[in-house]
Amino acid sequence: MKRRVVVTGLGALTPLGNSARESWESAVAGKSGVGPITKFDSTAFNTKIAAEVKKFDPLQFVDKKEVRRYDDFILYALASASMAMDDASLTVSPEISTRTGVIIGSAIGGLATMEQAKEVLLKSGPRRVSPFAVPAILANLASGHISIRFGAKGPINCAVTACASGTSAIGDAYKTIAGDDADVMITGGTEAAVTPLSVAGFNSMRALSQRNAEPEKASRPFDRGRDGFVIGEGCGIIILEELSFALKRGARIYAEVAGYGCTSDAFHVAAPPPGHEGAVRSMFTAIKDAGLSVADIDYINAHGTSTPLNDLYETQAVKSLFGKHAGHLMVSSTKSMTGHMLGAAGGVEAIFAVYALQEGIIPPTINLDNPDPECDLDYVANVARKKEISTALSNTFGFGGVNSVLVFKKYCN
């Protein structure tokens, strides 16, 4: 029998707000976090918009020395983890330190630091490159710094599965506790890749929206007028605990992590296969792991990137797996508001799924003004919906053909 795993703390920095709660309230209100790029001069770029974190003050969480030495993806993770730990009212004492672990996902790691270090190398020579450059670049250093900050000496890892990284991290953390290798896990995803190289690269792939004149309307999953995703940044961290451990310390329980599924398409480095068979298997595996049937699922927080093929094939996958029940599902893409936060997406979307369960509110898919006739599910268009639910799926799919899916359910003793 696997051990039960519950969510006891939430922390986030997103384009919608500088806390999990603020981000959730903005999502329920249908606000967009997309605007003109401010991180660099985008004049020469086809895409000039992004979903950036706004008014973040890292000095609330780290000292000046650390700010200079860390890439933003690490700063976002430290801040979000601090908020999540505070929310969970959890301190890692020496007695529990070896049973407390960290798994944080990041698709790209410190890309901005890498680009800056390369400029220094070319302009000023190798001796001018900072000794802190490599530690600021490595994707696993978000996990490393969180482990150091909180004294977590248990299992540590980093999920690097492209856009599925955050979900993969949470799924691995859930399995770590369920398998009795830890009692507490600090987990989620972080990303700070609104940089010239990433925007130029995604532009060359024709993956990004170029709706520059209307940034707030650029991310429009399942809409006939979608023309690509909007790159975003931020972090979502959740605290997972084994149920009896959480109950013993009197923790508030938000929801239960009930299942996880991960599969590979084995098809293409960037494109999903028609019908998205890999997504079907990952959703099925997660639901089976949760001990549920497809008829038990109430809501899906979709991957829903606002790209033509992804939205279509995810819809096909849902219909293929759920059959007649697909017509009774509520589905929404919060990427319509946050943009696509890459490796952070799964962490933030897990938080939204947890809030949906706890508060009985389904966040909307905004900008769904002219639905694609081939995308014909109930996408909770434009306005949040009050609806009590018992279960929620969170879908994330990534380059390389990875499909990661989590099942959350309302906690019942």
**161-205 per-position pLDDT tens digit:** 999 999 999 999 999 999 999 999 999 999 999 999 999 999 999
123 Cβ neighbours under 8 A, 6+ residues apart: none
409 domain residue, yes or no: no
> Catalytic site residue 328?
no
**9-23 per-position pLDDT tens digit:** 999 999 999 999 999
406 domain residue, yes or no: no
Closest CA to 377 of 391, 365, 389: 365
> Catalytic site residue 145?
no
Q: What is the model's pLDDT at position 335?
A: 98
407 domain residue, yes or no: no
Strand partners, 257: 5, 408
Active-site entry in 262, 276, 340, 375: 340
CA dihedral 220, 334, 52, 268 (to 10 degrees): -70
311 Cβ neighbours under 8 A, 6+ residues apart: 221, 222, 226, 304, 305, 333, 372, 375
20 domain residue, yes or no: yes
Tokens 């086809």 belong to residue? 46
Please state the domain count of the chain. Answer: 1
410 domain residue, yes or no: no
* Neighbour-count burial of 327, counting CB atoms closer than 10 A to its CB (0-12 exposed, 13-18 middle, 19+ buried): exposed
**316-326 per-position pLDDT tens digit:** 999 999 999 99
Check: CB of residue 321 under 8 Å from CB of residue 283.
yes
Give me the CATH number covering residue 160.
3.40.47.10
- Domain span holding position 266: 1-400
* Cα–Cα distance measured from residue 360 to residue 68, given in angstroms and rounded to the nearest whole number: 42
* Cα–Cα distance measured from residue 32 to residue 15, given in angstroms and rounded to the nearest whole number: 8
Check: CB of residue 166 under 8 Å from CB of residue 105.
yes
299 Cβ neighbours under 8 A, 6+ residues apart: 329, 330, 331, 332, 353, 356, 362, 387, 389, 391, 392, 393
128 domain residue, yes or no: yes
Q: Which string of DSSP letters, residue by residue, matches 59-128?
A: GGTS-HHHHHHS-HHHHHHHHHHHHHHHHHT----TTTGGGEEEEEE-SS-SHHHHHHHHHHHHHH-GGG
Q: What is the model's pLDDT at position 274?
A: 86
412 domain residue, yes or no: no
413 domain residue, yes or no: no
> What is the full per-residue pLDDT of the chain (413 aa) written as tens digits?
899 999 999 999 999 999 999 999 999 999 999 999 999 999 999 999 999 999 999 999 999 999 999 999 999 999 999 999 999 999 999 999 999 999 999 999 999 999 999 999 999 999 999 999 999 999 999 999 999 999 999 999 999 999 999 999 999 999 999 999 999 999 999 999 999 999 999 999 999 999 999 999 999 999 999 999 999 999 999 999 999 999 999 999 999 999 999 999 999 998 888 889 999 999 999 999 999 999 999 999 999 999 999 999 999 999 999 999 999 999 999 999 999 999 999 999 999 999 999 999 999 999 999 999 999 999 999 999 999 999 999 999 999 999 999 999 999 98
Active-site entry in 163, 235, 262, 375: 163
* Cα–Cα distance measured from residue 95 to residue 359, given in angstroms and rounded to the nearest whole number: 34
Q: What is the model's pLDDT at position 413?
A: 81
314 Cβ neighbours under 8 A, 6+ residues apart: 272, 276, 279, 302, 303, 304, 395, 397
Active-site entry in 145, 235, 262, 303: 303
* Neighbour-count burial of 304, counting CB atoms closer than 10 A to its CB (0-12 exposed, 13-18 middle, 19+ buried): buried
The secondary structure of the chain in percent helix, strand, coil, rounded to multiples of 5, reads: 40, 20, 40
* Averaged pLDDT of the chain: 97
